[in-house]
Amino acid sequence: MATGSNIRTYFNGTWHAGDVAVMKAADHGMWLGSNVFDGARLANGLTPDLDKHCDRLNASAEALMVTPTVSPEEMVEIVKEGLEAYPKDAAVYIRPMYWALEGGMSAIVPKEGGGTGFAICLEEIPMAAPEDAASLTRTRFRRPMLEDAVVNAKAACLYPNNARMLAEARKKGFSNALVADALGNVAESATSNAFAVKDGEVFTPVPNGTFLAGITRARHIANLRADGVTVHECVMSFEDYHDADEVFLSGNMMKVTPVTGFDETSYQIGPITRRVREMYWDWAASAN
């Protein structure tokens, strides 16, 4: 099911109008879950870190034993070609994807040399307004470890667990969940990386192999440090978030999402959250 509108699909070497069927019933990715994807954005006429998202797609494929077939550089050029069909002021979600075509040992392991499916989906999805905020709660579901799941990849098979988190949060009246790792420390939200601000300094969970430390997350950290803000990547508890002056989420889809509540704790959308957003688009414009 499409999330956005005005969809274009790249498949079998060419761009197609609309949401095109790309997978067959017997494809390994269809029935055994060898699907990986990444997400980038066109917004304000810019495609920030598009090359890094394409590069991460290939790394994700390798983590699932799927052979990548398109170089990041080629992928960037294909995406740029597809985006030419959109208005310059359009907000577009850019989603390149791979999946294995054939199985190998007992069909479960992707077959070496068995072929790889590749597609790119472009969808118009508006960027959130600066005041569009999230509310967080806790969930009983946790992030897995590398020994349990392919947490070193942006893999479709990980997302049903995130869906359980979100469904639980929404049933409780919140829009998102703040999620623990196996040890009970905060890892991220159900959809994106999480930051807290206390006394003008910024804190975020240290990457520990249970969640993807996002490309946008890294960009925010670099921008904040360049602006003279102290950023700590450290072990964080739920109490650290309750005690924070500001909380915001970081992900490719909306870049910066302010948080106005975590269970019984309320926050204002503060100056650091606003500054992070401003610096991100300033950086994107200068990089372009």
pLDDT tens, the chain, 288 aa long: 568 899 999 999 999 999 999 999 999 999 999 999 999 999 999 999 999 999 999 999 999 999 999 999 999 999 999 999 999 899 999 999 999 999 977 789 999 899 999 999 999 999 999 999 999 999 999 999 999 999 999 999 999 999 999 999 999 999 999 999 999 999 999 999 999 999 999 999 999 999 999 999 999 999 999 999 999 999 999 999 999 999 999 999 999 999 999 999 999 999 999 999 999 999 999 998
For 134-287, the fitting CATH number among 3.90.120.10, 3.60.20.30, 3.20.10.10, 1.10.287.80 is 3.20.10.10
DSSP for 123-187, written as a single string: EE-PPPPTT--EEEEE-S-----TTTS-TTS-BGGGHHHHHHHHHHHHHTT-SEEEEE-TTSSEE
Show me where the domains of the chain are located: 5-124, 134-287
Residues 10, 120 contacting (CB under 8 angstroms)? yes
pLDDT at 106: 79
pLDDT at 15: 98
Q: Which of 218, 215, 211 is nearest to 191 (CA)?
A: 211
Same fold: 5-124 with 134-287: no
Q: What is the pTM of this model?
A: 0.95
End-to-end CA gap in the chain: 33
**Distance from C-alpha of 257 to C-alpha of 274, rounded to nearest angstrom:** 10
Burial class for 188, CB neighbours closer than 10 Å (0-12, 13-18, 19+)? buried
Residues 40, 94 contacting (CB under 8 angstroms)? yes
Q: What is the pLDDT of residues 54-104, one digit of tens each?
A: 999 999 999 999 999 999 999 999 999 999 999 989 999 999 999 999 997
Q: Which of 185, 172, 186, 197 is nearest to 258 (CA)?
A: 197
Q: At what angle do helices 215-226 and 50-63 cross, to 10 degrees?
A: 140
CA distances from 26 to 32, 37, 99, 157, 279 (A): 10, 20, 12, 17, 46
Residues 129, 93 contacting (CB under 8 angstroms)? no
Contacts of 92 (CB under 8 A, 6+ apart): 4, 41, 42, 43, 83, 86, 122, 123, 124, 125
The CATH number of domain 5-124 is 1.10.3720.10 = no
